[in-house]
Structure 1
């Protein structure tokens, strides 16, 4: 039996944030009190039936050379690749904690990131990595924007069975070992409509930041656009905007822009 002190030691203070419907558990781990010893705790916390419920969990930790470090876990409990909407949410979290003001440089798994945040703390422009190459898989585009993405153009996206189609591509012979995020896009003229099947969640999510970034860049290449480009994107959870410079071969100054909002905070025992 656990004594009262042991039970108290298992309590963790957490925050819940969402960015365009992509939701995350955030923990201030600057004191390193959250010890990651396997995927069970993260899996439990992210479970929507038996835990808090989230697409992923992030630890905000100290770093000697940056304002903070972002450590991201997928909902399956495994350490994840870069999460764009998660990155925007952790910037809002850092502002809430008083670590940053209006700008920041932080470290994520894919390297350093710059971001700026509104005075109200609910809108974040996050700089993503530069992209020098977009590959092809048949008519689809394949690229890595901090996480690997497959981009397919479709019609009537609103009625597409994204789970079935995305699951099939993510688990085919080419991608099943490492996995890939599968994005479906419909070009509606004044904006792109995007739906995403995310690896690690293994389901459709309401938004995917690295995914909409991959889609916007792929569509710019597809349409032969050049110069400074700003692309509005609608996802199931709301509206995002991707801004970047493209010279016909290289993408630079890539920014993922959108809302990041605290939903609630609390304590949980694990």
Structure 2
């Protein structure tokens, strides 16, 4: 089968994106997904995204990790699929789509996409970390000397040792100044550090505000792949945050076609 694909990246978090409105992609073929994401034998990506028709929203997002399994929400993937939808002419400046965690809104101007994330009501404090779900589960932990920190080794240990087989994404954070942080993330499903993680950056911003490490409702996060911004509103009458927006660049890298065995 000849597959047409597009490669997008959002602050270094890269994705193979396929227009699947005609339902030709074999969605239960996990081996095919992992092959396409393989950086040696396939196209190479942190994940694969299918764009499909939706009865209510502009489109539907189906997301797979690079291990071939469908997964929870991907924030940078959500921003990239909005850019792809604009490329296809499905949206102009505003978009809405359905994902595994529900309905999302987005805005796009040039190559900058702002994605509205789901409301977060529960932030669990641990002895030296916080845990919250921003569409995907995230462990958030402050460290020193993040540049030289062994993210893969310690991330893998926490991902399995603390959170079991289902696991969690693991974010290591270092403060830059009052409302600005460095973040490196170990992603489950990729089983390695990625250059950026949208739901992880969102989790870090909320966790830092919740714990008093930040005092603004606009947080700047620097990842190895670039700069992202998270804006939010703290709930007045209950715990948590709403009106959460993740903003950053999302760009087409290249497009092509590949022969695969379906």
Band the TM-score falls in, shorter-chain normalisation: over 0.9
Write the distance in 2 (CA, Å) between the matches of 1:48 and 1:176.
27
Give the SS at the match of 2:53.
strand
- What is the match of residue 22 of structure 2? 31
1:149 aligns to 2:138 (yes or no): yes
Give, in angstroms, the shift of residue 247 of structure 1.
4.1
User: Any residues of structure 2 matched to 1:32-47 within 5 Å, and which?
Assistant: 32-47=23-38
User: Any residues of structure 2 matched to 1:1-270 within 5 Å, and which?
Assistant: 10-118=1-109, 120=110, 122-172=111-161, 174-189=162-177, 190-223=179-212, 229-247=217-235, 249-270=239-260
Write the distance in 1 (CA, Å) between the matches of 2:73 and 2:235.
25
- Per-residue CA distance 1:87-119 (angstroms, 9 max, x = gap): 00000000000000100110000000000000x
Q: Which 5+ residue runs of structure 1 have no aligned equivalent?
A: 1-9
Q: Which 5+ residue runs of structure 2 have no aligned equivalent?
A: none
Indicate if the aligned counterparts of 1:225 and 1:246 stay in contact, CA closer than 8 A: no
Aligned residues: 257
Q: Structure 1 residues 15, 256: CA separation in 2 closer, same or farther (over 3 Å shift)?
A: same
Runs of 4+ in 1 over 4 A off after TM superposition: none
Give the SS at the match of 1:232.
strand
Q: How big is the alpha-carbon RMSD for the aligned residues of Structure 1 and Structure 2?
A: 1.2
- Per-residue CA distance 1:203-239 (angstroms, 9 max, x = gap): 000000000000000000111766x611011000010
Write the distance in 2 (CA, Å) between the matches of 1:247 and 1:81.
24
TM normalised by structure 1 equals 0.93
Tell me which structure has the larger Cα radius of gyration. Answer: 1
Indicate if the aligned counterparts of 1:73 and 1:80 stay in contact, CA closer than 8 A: yes
Write the distance in 2 (CA, Å) between the matches of 1:13 and 1:113.
26
- Per-residue CA distance 1:13-70 (angstroms, 9 max, x = gap): 0000000000000000000011212211001000000000000000000011110000
Write the distance in 2 (CA, Å) between the matches of 1:29 and 1:261.
20
Write the distance in 1 (CA, Å) between the matches of 2:29 and 2:131.
31
TM normalised by structure 2 equals 0.96
Write the distance in 2 (CA, Å) between the matches of 1:113 and 1:178.
25
Give, in angstroms, the shift of residue 136 of structure 1.
2.3
